Amino acid sequence: MIATVATYLPQWIAEGRRCAGPDEDALTMAVAAGRAALEDGSANDVRKVVIVTRDLPLLEGGNAPALLAGLGLSDRVEVVERVGGAPATLDALAEASEYSLVVGTDVSGAAGAGAAWTSSVGGGLTALTRVQRSLPLRVRGQDGAVHEDDDPRLQRERGLRVSLGAAGLPGKPVVLAGLSDREAAAWCEGNPPGLPTLGASAPLFALAALAERGAGGIVAAVEQATVSAVHWEPAGVIVRRDERAARELPRRRLSPGPEIKIAFTAYDRAFDAKLRWQAGQCPSCATLAFPPRLRCLGCGHEGDTVLVPLPRTGTVYTTTTIHVPVPGLASPYALAVVQLDGVDVRALVPVTDCTPGAADIDARGRLVFRRLTVRSGVPDYGYAFVPEVVD
């Protein structure tokens, strides 16, 4: 049973579709959707996380530690990283056991993410069929370049029509994820909801839209000639959306120069505190330090500290905009010292989701999980400040 479906769209738009911001990738968007799905405090009950995407940041070493840290989950939770598009996500939802979080996220093409939290109550989703056929009209080579044979008639007639015929569905779908709205309407009954993405997140946007309508029926997903279908009954499903109004992506420049290498000792030492947004608490006097310190500034105690969660809202104490070019960083960019709510901690963080310099002193906002930079091929994740009111 699916209890909650949550969606996330980056606010930036380019060429008429949503695109990831400069500090976003598949993982940061997965975290945004996943945290929205677990907003009611279900994080402690999660037994398994499945992430489906064709844009995994790390193909070696795994993305699970950063994903779990961003979601605030135990590092012992099982994570399945599945490379795939819309049908793979629909299959993952149909196979999901209770207390699982299934996330689909897309960067290439239209960007966005969705997440579904399964529980003992909620909407029913029953697998109907899957047809897996090979018609590789669009492929990504080892060089990372996408090679596409733009033949829509071949894809329609030898791909979708043949596969849907082989699926033997008991009726027409109410929504077909993986196609443009115009293409999908020709294969669906009624008035299918418009979907902002075409990849792994598309079925989750479809379930959210149907749940808001209170509509059930056959939900199908397609990628080239592969089709998967389920029957959906949305009774009792909660829908949460993190979808801000679309804005044009600001222009910034990337300066050439030697890459700043990653220091893996510092990366390891800061990982938990930075990615889980935690401060070190002195076991003697309870003074908080972010980042954690070996020696307490309150009482002088030396030794290990206890990590405690930090608030994710705050107020800008001071801010500056950097125009000096730095290799590997797009400029201009803004930094802010943020006074966190309810604790004696100020954090230095980048400002995001607004024009550099738009967040003034005393601006209110929230901290979000973002990719701060990429060094030595490794995404360096942390938190950035999103002001409540932007220009």
CA distance 336 to 321: 9
Q: How confident is the model at residue 145 (pLDDT cuts 50, 70, 90)?
A: confident
CA distance 122 to 222: 25
Q: How confident is the model at residue 324 (pLDDT cuts 50, 70, 90)?
A: confident
What is the SS3 string spanning 45-89? HCCEEEEEECCCCCCCCCCHHHHHHHHCCCCCCEEEEEECCHHHH
User: Residue 267: its pLDDT value, please?
Assistant: 87
Q: Say if residue 55's pLDDT is above 70.
A: yes
User: Residue 309: its pLDDT value, please?
Assistant: 95
CA distance 63 to 59: 8
Residue 30 · residue 115 · CB < 8 Å: yes
Q: What is the DSSP letter of 21?
A: -
CA distance 19 to 109: 8
Report yes or no on whether pTM surpasses 0.95.
Answer: no
CA distance 206 to 193: 7
Question: What's the average model confidence in pLDDT over 11-27?
Answer: 94
CA distance 234 to 230: 12
Percent composition of the chain: helix, strand, coil (DSSP 3-state, to 5): 20, 35, 45
Q: Say if residue 391's pLDDT is above 70.
A: no
User: Residue 390: its pLDDT value, please?
Assistant: 65
Both structure tokens of 160:
């979708």
Question: What's the average model confidence in pLDDT over 92-121?
Answer: 96
Q: Say if residue 37's pLDDT is above 80.
A: yes
β-strand 217-223 against 175-177: which pairing, if any? Answer: parallel
What confidence tens digit (pLDDT) does each residue in 250-302 have? 888 887 777 778 888 888 888 999 999 999 999 999 999 998 998 999 999 99
Q: Which range has the worst mean pLDDT, 69-78, 304-313, 325-334, 351-360?
A: 325-334
Q: How far apart are the first and last CA of the chain?
A: 41
Distances (CA, A) of 15 to 18, 85, 223: 8, 22, 22
| pLDDT greater at residue 90 or residue 358 | 90
Q: How confident is the model at residue 85 (pLDDT cuts 50, 70, 90)?
A: very high
Mean predicted lDDT score pLDDT of the chain: 92
- The one-letter amino acid code at 102 reads V
Q: What is the CA radius of gyration of the chain?
A: 22
Identify the H or E element spanning 238: strand 238-243
Q: Say if residue 87's pLDDT is above 80.
A: yes
Residue 172 · residue 231 · CB < 8 Å: no
Distances (CA, A) of 26 to 34, 37, 153, 333: 12, 16, 31, 22
Percentage with pLDDT > 70 across the chain: 99
What confidence tens digit (pLDDT) does each residue in 200-239 have? 999 999 999 999 999 999 999 999 889 999 999 999 999 9
Distances (CA, A) of 236 to 47, 54, 101, 257: 22, 31, 17, 54
Residue 199 · residue 88 · CB < 8 Å: no
